[in-house]
Amino acid sequence: MSMKFSRLGRSSGSIELPETWATPLEVSRLLDHTAKMVCDEWLARCRTMAVAPDDAPNAWLERTCYALVMGYIKSEAEDAFEARIEQYQRKLRGPRSSGTIFQTALMAITAHQGDAISAGLRERVGKRLWHAYRHYVPPVFLNGFFKQIGSKDLPRRATDEEIEPGFDEWIAEQLAQETNFDSRGTYPGRILAIIPPSKERDFDDGYDGVDDGDDDPDESGDDHEGNKDDDDEWFTRPLSEPDEE
C-alpha cells in the first residue's frame, strides 16, 4: 500500500506499507522513519503561518494521521504505535479504554519530540478521526466528511458514538463486507437490522473491521488529502460513487 502526503516547498512524501511484514523490527523501523518525517513536516507547518486553510498544521496532521493509521490497520501492524511510545518511554495517560487508536498514533508520531503535541490536541483530533473511522470514511474523502457534518459538538458526538444522518445504509454495506476485524465501537440496532441477512455477523461485542475497498485515490487523480471539490461533493451523497467527469 502506498501512502502519499504533501510537504511545503517540496515534492510529496511517499511511504510504502507492505501487505505482510517480514519481522517486527521491519515494522518498527518503518514507523520510526515515517513518524519522524510526519512530525518534522507538522512542526515546519507550525512555524509557517502563510498557508491555505486546508494546508494549516492541524488540518494537514489530521489527513496524514488518518491515512497512516488506516494503512497500518489494513496491514495488521497497528500495535507498532504503542511499541513506539514504549520505545521512547512515553506513557499513555488515563485508562486505555478512554482513548482511540488515533490518539495513540498521534502520541507515537511525536514520541521522539516529547510533548510536541499537547494532550488536548491529541484528544480533539483523535476523536474527530475516530468519528470518521466509525463512518467508514476513506482517507481521500476526509475533508468532505468534516465539511458536511460540521464541527459543532463533534467531540461529544464522537464520544457518544452517534451516527450522522444519511450514513446508515453506507455503514451497513461496509459491515456486510467485513473480512478483517478491528473494533470500531458499537452501532445502533437500526443499522444492524439492515445488514443483508446472508452477511450478518455477531456484533454483540462491538467489534468491526477495515474497509477493503478497491478504490485507489491515485488512479482517480486525487491525492490522499481530499482537496478536490468532487471529494466534498461525494459525501453530500454518502451512498453513491463519485461523479465521473
What local confidence, expressed as pLDDT, does residue 95 receive?
43
CB-based contact 242:226 (threshold 8 Å)? no
What local confidence, expressed as pLDDT, does residue 213 receive?
43
Rounded distance, CA 106 to CA 111, Å? 8
Rounded distance, CA 142 to CA 226, Å? 6
For the chain, give every domain's residue range. Answer: 2-234
What local confidence, expressed as pLDDT, does residue 94 receive?
46
Rounded distance, CA 29 to CA 179, Å? 28
What local confidence, expressed as pLDDT, does residue 114 receive?
78
Q: What is the chain's pLDDT, residue by residue, as a tens digit (245 residues)?
A: 677 777 776 767 777 777 777 677 888 888 998 899 899 889 888 888 667 777 788 888 999 999 999 888 888 888 889 889 888 877 655 444 357 899 999 999 989 887 788 888 989 999 999 999 999 999 889 989 999 999 888 988 898 899 999 999 999 999 888 765 457 888 999 998 998 765 445 544 443 444 444 444 444 444 434 444 444 444 443 433 434 43
Q: What's the gap between Cα 69 and its chain centre?
A: 5
Cβ neighbours for 68, distance < 8 A, ≥ 6 positions apart: 3, 15, 34, 38, 105, 109
Name the one residue in this structure whose C-alpha cell is 510533548: 115
What local confidence, expressed as pLDDT, does residue 181 receive?
46
